[in-house]
Amino acid sequence: MQDVITTWHQAGERVALVPTMGNLHEGHLALVREAQQHADRVVASIFVNPTQFGEGEDFEKYPRTPDEDIAGLEAESCDVVFIPDTEQIYPFGVEQSVSLKASPDLAARLEGYNRPGHFDGVVSVVARLFAITRPDVAVFGEKDYQQLLVVRKLADDLGFGIDVIGKETIRDAAGLALSSRNAYLDPLELTLARQLNKVLSETGQNARQGDVIKAHEMDAAEQLMSAGLKVDYVAIRRADDLSVPEKFEGGLRILAAVRCGETRLIDNMPMPD
């Protein structure tokens, strides 16, 4: 992989990285197409990273479909599919690996609060992928919006010199954000899950300048619980740094995490100014 990257850079070509955990869907393929707009060469990595899964989470059962993933990436003219094993990413073993700590101002809230250590695992593996592939550009989906901000902070803080680009969330016909974990949902749960994007969208549409933020968060959470979803959080935050506004203003984003049956789903969207 490193030899290939060196050859491309010596030829003056820009390289983009699209990091994934596999089980690719249209959302992932849209990231590849976005990367092609910013670089001459695109590398898609597939690695289910053990250090970002907490105790009791779905690391073992996370869907792994390498053959289908490779075929899909070939159809999108992706230049290289990089599928390392755990020993290549953590050559001294996961327990003895050098680990990074995600920036607390971004990582300690919302997903980080509900999944302690999750973002530490994310930045630790992303830093390794950046070091191996040395991209000029990296593309991440906005569905994991907090992750996108955490990775941007990583790239800036450690001086990687990588342009971290966000790609808008790809949704199904009913508006549900595409996710590999959607495959866990049975037909009834899928119907319930589609209430998530509906409630978030309606909350944004109903907010008015000067409204108290907490009231909208509580109302959205109540609607989601009434629909049969268990709510981890509904939060309206400033989009640039996830800081907490007291009243409705421009540049906000609404983020949520819910459990639908045994499946945990996240979503977010910009709120109209």
- In CATH terms, 180-270 corresponds, of 3.40.50.300, 3.40.630.30, 1.10.3720.10, 3.30.1300.10, to 3.30.1300.10
Per CATH, the architecture of 2-167 is what?
3-Layer(aba) Sandwich (3.40)
| Whole-number pLDDT of residue 273 | 85
* pLDDT beneath 50, residues of the chain: none
How big is the CA angle at 122 (ends 118 and 123), to the nearest 5 degrees? 120
| Whole-number pLDDT of residue 55 | 87
| Whole-number pLDDT of residue 56 | 85
* Residue 238 parent element (H or E): strand 230-238
| Whole-number pLDDT of residue 210 | 86
28 is catalytic: yes
Q: Which candidate in 9, 28, 38, 118 is catalytic?
A: 28
Contacts of 77 (CB under 8 A, 6+ apart): 36
| Whole-number pLDDT of residue 76 | 98
> Where does residue 31 rank: exposed (0-12), middle (13-18), buried (19+ CB within 10 A)?
buried
* pTM of the complete model beyond 0.85: yes
| Whole-number pLDDT of residue 159 | 97
Q: What is the residue extent of each domain of the chain?
A: 2-167, 180-270
